[in-house]
């Protein structure tokens, strides 16, 4: 009987293993984590992450062939296949700080696997890691445990948050990289058999280890690059009177370009894009490829520019100051259908507005007050961040930020509204009521292109929507950079 253990019960480990358990009833799947609160939540009615469809999958398998546990060592020792899906954040200190991946968690997981193993194992890199990590992991495993055969595979995850279950049920592809040795090839087939329970075999791609590791970084870099490309166009649209939605549609109908991932926005967020591109940049630099590194660095620079541009647009439109003015922040998560706020553009926009002494009233249907306060006080690595986006002290945040659970409360008496997440409910708000309750002139700054600009202007709002022809009010304001 195949036994799977996954180290790391996070956004990837939890949903991925739940789907494997659902699709492979004869396989026992244990998801383990050092965080007891996280495991307790997985074993409760309130799962630690919000993901459409996830509750259903977990309910169907939990206690049958899906188990969540803090007994990491026991489950690792018993498994034939060990997935490692721990976090791999950007280093904040030391060599490569602000760019390189911090593999502390991965290394400690690998050392633990070596310590507790009594039988041969396939060890699968599920986390996103720098190219050649498998070589380092192999060294840790084999140097610390003689006589046991560890075979390393790279099986990067391509799910996106908010659509994780849909993506896992019907992936564009599953990628498995392994050594070009008999053991490596045998391990690839064993893992392929797991996915083949529900993924057509032609969609299971098998490559060498380094191609699989690099493909993950490359995929995220290409995706993020599309967003920075369309966001760069959005600035030009605003300057020229073109409409970025029309430009996206026009270029997206070219089958070589395709229509997806061309929505201009206040900037991309999430735990992956920035981290993985920085990691890619660092690898390029380490390999003596500064031109390639600079090329990818630009994707992040444009993303930072887009967030700064948005803040500047808000401040300059409102008579060049937001000091003491109430601004409603609608949406704090990095995208809709998730409560995840890691690297959300809302953090940078809120910090920018707080830097100009605004009073913020934040509403997000899935993000708690604690999380928002923590995010705004948190010091993150300050790679290439403009001075006005530097972290503020927690005390300042408490005085300037309130978090509410009702949109109308957020907007009442506000001078302006910033829409920072594309939650569906923001499309269909009663904007007449919103307008009536706001200070005048009433501004809407739509960072996600969700509102009907024409309708809102008819109500009386001054509307800014990314990449759309500017309101005559905004045209008269000083240019923003
Ligand atoms: P996460 O922070 O949500 O989860 C990681 C978990 O690993 C945490 O719960 C942590 O407590 C646990 N952990 C860390 N060290 C451990 C150890 N030694 N033993 C046991 N548990 C340990 O992270 P995530 O979002 O699930 O991402 C995990 C990896 O997958 C990262 O490398 C990420 O880049 C990659 N990835 C993430 C996504 C995504 O959408 N979030 C998508 C694809 C790939
Ligand atoms: C991403 C990758 O899509 C996924 O394959 C990988 O496994 C993890 O990283 P995720 O970050 O969860 O997934 O969400 P994604 O849908 O890619 O969105 C990332 C950010 O880009 C969000 O802030 C989103 O709002 C933004 N975005 C996306 C845009 O601004 N415009 C778009 O057209 C698409």
Range 406-434 average pLDDT: 97
Q: Which residue out of 19, 48, 86 has the highest number of ligand 1 atoms within 8 Å of its CB and is therefore the one to mutate?
A: 86
Cβ of 292 closer than 6 Å to ligand 1, yes or no, is no
Q: Is 11 annotated as a binding residue?
A: yes
- The alpha carbon of 395 and the centre of ligand 2 are apart by a number of angstroms equal to 32
Residue 336 CA: which ligand is closest?
2
Task: Count CA atoms within 13 Å of residue 13 on its CB side.
Answer: 28
**Cα torsion angle, 303, 309, 312, 313, sign:** negative
- The alpha carbon of 329 and the centre of ligand 1 are apart by a number of angstroms equal to 29
- Report the side by side order of strands in the sheet with 150-154: 66-69, 28-32, 3-7, 81-84, 121-125, 150-154, 174-178, 204-208
Residue 477 pLDDT > 70: no
Residues in contact with ligand 2 (CB, 6 Å cut-off): 157-161, 220, 223, 227, 261-263, 265, 268-270, 272-273, 334-335
CATH class for domain 3-199?
Answer: alpha beta
User: What residues does each domain of the chain span?
Assistant: 3-199, 241-475
29-40 pLDDT per residue, tens? 999 999 999 999
- The alpha carbon of 174 and the centre of ligand 2 are apart by a number of angstroms equal to 18
- The Cα 223–Cα 260 span in angstroms is 10
- Report the side by side order of strands in the sheet with 443-446: 401-404, 359-363, 326-330, 416-419, 443-446, 462-465
pLDDT tier at 288 (50, 70, 90 boundaries)?
Answer: very high
Q: Is 33 annotated as a binding residue?
A: yes
Structure tokens at 121: 């194992």
Ligand 2 atom nearest the C-alpha of 159 is 7
- The alpha carbon of 264 and the centre of ligand 2 are apart by a number of angstroms equal to 12
- Which H or E element spans position 304? helix 290-317
Cα angle 354-415-311, degrees, rounded to a multiple of 5? 40
64-82 pLDDT per residue, tens? 999 999 999 999 999 999 9
Q: Is 391 annotated as a binding residue?
A: no
Q: List, by residue number, the catalytic residues.
A: 272
- The alpha carbon of 384 and the centre of ligand 2 are apart by a number of angstroms equal to 21
Residue-level pLDDT at 146 = 74
Percent of the chain with pLDDT over 70: 95
Residue-level pLDDT at 473 = 75
Residues in the chain: 481
Residue 237 pLDDT > 80: yes
Cβ of 5 closer than 6 Å to ligand 1, yes or no, is no
Residue-level pLDDT at 366 = 95
Q: Is 240 annotated as a binding residue?
A: no
Q: How many CB atoms lie within 10 A of CB 100?
A: 19
Cβ of 133 closer than 6 Å to ligand 1, yes or no, is no
The CATH code of the domain at 241-475 is: 3.40.50.720
Residue 335 CA: which ligand is closest?
2
Residue-level pLDDT at 20 = 98
195-222 pLDDT per residue, tens? 999 999 999 999 999 999 999 999 999 9
Residue 247 pLDDT > 80: yes
Cβ of 72 closer than 6 Å to ligand 1, yes or no, is yes
158-190 pLDDT per residue, tens? 999 999 999 999 999 999 999 999 999 999 999
Mean pLDDT of the chain: 93
ipTM attached to this prediction:
0.98
- The Cα 358–Cα 416 span in angstroms is 10
- Which H or E element spans position 346? helix 345-355
pLDDT tier at 382 (50, 70, 90 boundaries)?
Answer: very low
Q: Is 163 annotated as a binding residue?
A: no
For strands 326-330 and 462-465, give the pairing: unpaired
């Amino acid at each position: 009987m195949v036994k799977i253990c996954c180290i790391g019960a996070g956004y990837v480990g939890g949903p991925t293993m739940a789907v494997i358990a659902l699709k492979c009833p004869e396989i026992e799947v244990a998801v383990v984590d050092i965080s007891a609160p996280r495991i307790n939540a997985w074993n409760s009615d309130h799962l630690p992450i919000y993901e459409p469809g996830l509750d259903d999958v977990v309910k169907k398998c939990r206690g049958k062939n899906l188990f969540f546990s803090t007994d990491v060592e026991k489950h690792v020792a018993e498994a034939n296949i060990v997935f490692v899906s721990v976090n791999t954040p950007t280093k904040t200190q030391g060599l490569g700080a602000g760019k390189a991946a911090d593999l502390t968690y991965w290394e400690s997981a690998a050392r633990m696997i070596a310590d507790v193993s009594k039988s041969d194992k396939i060890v699968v890199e599920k986390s996103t890691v720098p190219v050649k990590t498998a070589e380092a992991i192999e060294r840790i495993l084999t140097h610390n445990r003689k006589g046991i055969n560890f075979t390393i595979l790279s099986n990067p995850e391509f799910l996106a948050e908010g659509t994780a279950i849909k993506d896992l049920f019907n992936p564009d592809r599953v990628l498995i990289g392994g050594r070009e040795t008999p053991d490596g090839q045998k391990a690839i087939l064993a893992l392929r058999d797991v996915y083949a329970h529900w993924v057509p075999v032609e969609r299971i791609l098998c490559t060498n280890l380094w191609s699989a590791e690099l493909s993950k970084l490359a995929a995220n870099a290409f995706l993020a690059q599309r967003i920075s490309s369309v966001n760069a166009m959005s600035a030009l649209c605003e300057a020229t009177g073109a409409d970025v939605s029309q430009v996206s549609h026009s270029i997206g109908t070219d089958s070589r370009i395709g229509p997806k991932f061309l929505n201009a926005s206040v900037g991309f967020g999430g735990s992956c894009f920035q981290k993985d591109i920085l990691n890619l940049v660092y690898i390029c630099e380490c390999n003596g490829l500064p031109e390639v590194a600079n090329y990818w660095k630009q994707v992040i620079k444009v993303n930072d520019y887009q967030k700064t541009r948005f803040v500047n647009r808000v401040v300059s439109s409102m008579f060049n100051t937001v000091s003491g003015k109430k601004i409603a922040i609608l949406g704090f998560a990095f995208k809709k259908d998730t409560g995840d706020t890691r690297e959300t553009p809302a953090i940078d926009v809120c910090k920018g507005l707080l830097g100009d002494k605004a009073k913020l009233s934040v509403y997000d249907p899935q993000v708690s007050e604690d999380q928002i306060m923590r995010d705004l006080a948190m010091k993150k690595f300050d790679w290439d961040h403009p001075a006005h986006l530097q972290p503020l002290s927690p005390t300042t945040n408490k005085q300037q930020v309130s978090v509410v659970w009702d949109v109308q409360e957020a907007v009442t008496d506000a001078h302006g509204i910033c829409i920072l997440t594309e939650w569906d409910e923001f499309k269909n708000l009663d904007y007449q009521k919103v307008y009536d309750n706001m200070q005048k002139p009433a501004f809407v700054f739509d960072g996600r292109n969700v509102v009907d600009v024409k309708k809102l202007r008819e109500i009386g709002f001054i509307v800014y929507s990314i990449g759309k022809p500017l309101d005559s009010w905004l045209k008269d304001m000083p240019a923003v950079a």
